[in-house]
Amino acid sequence: MGKIIKDLNWRYATKYFDNTKKVSTKDLETLLEATRLSASSYGLQPYHIYVIEDEEIREKLKSASWNQSQITDASHLIVFTIKTSFGEELIDEYIENVIKTRAVEPQSIKGYSDFMKSKLMFLSAEEKNNWTTRQAYIALGNVLTVAAHLKIDTCPIEGIVSEKYDEILGLTQKKLSAVVALPIGYRSKKDDTQHLPKVRYSKEKLFTHL
């Protein structure tokens, strides 16, 4: 069994964090870089990520998370937010970055820009919201895997009141909305969940080879 599989077997949704232990700056930067390098549709990354250490803010967010202790006990709280509305500026900004990063002529990628706009600009508000959320979850999955590799515990939490998060973090005026929270840190010895066998479907049930 490869190390990555052992790491993923080690990982679980941590119920209780040790609030005396902090993730190092080096490991945090690795996690954030892994997030930045995550795949996304067209490479557009239609989300923004908040890394929260402030105890007062996290206490407020805890009340908007059904008082789950992980929000305040973890070393850091990562909040994935999506762009709730976007227009051509989303693509134009990305194209400008491509031109700068790859030193290409604007005309050489105009076709790609037009193609993306033809696929995304005509989506309804609900479709845009669903699409941006899916992109954020790709990044979330990447962070979970890298955290496991670093032996950093995590607990993705969808049980948040997004409207309250948006209010507390001032997201609405930025045209952002919180979709999922991710406490990171180190498991407490009192968390009995860590000793339970991982429950997953068998390969035979989950996969079909054609």
pLDDT in tens, 100-158: 999 999 999 999 999 999 999 999 999 999 999 999 999 999 999 999 999 999 999 99
Q: What is the CATH number of the domain that holds 122?
A: 3.40.109.10
Residue 150 inside a domain? The answer is yes
Residue 207 inside a domain? The answer is no
* pLDDT score at 1: 65
* pLDDT score at 151: 98
- Amino acid at the residue 82: I
Residue 162 inside a domain? The answer is yes
pLDDT in tens, 170-209: 999 999 999 999 999 999 999 999 999 999 999 999 999 9
Percentage of residues in the chain with pLDDT exceeding 70? 100
Residue 34 inside a domain? The answer is yes
pLDDT in tens, 69-89: 999 999 999 999 999 999 999
Closest among 151, 96, 81, 90 to 116, alpha carbons compared:
90
Q: How far is CA 130 from CA 51, 135, 161, 185, in A?
A: 23, 9, 17, 29
Residues of the domain holding 178: 3-190
Residue 210 inside a domain? The answer is no
Count up the domains in the chain and report the number. 1
pLDDT in tens, 29-63: 999 999 999 999 999 999 999 999 999 999 999 99
Residue 204 inside a domain? The answer is no
Cα angle 83-88-94, degrees, rounded to a multiple of 5? 75
Residue 174 inside a domain? The answer is yes
Residue 206 inside a domain? The answer is no
pLDDT in tens, 148-171: 999 999 999 999 999 999 999 999
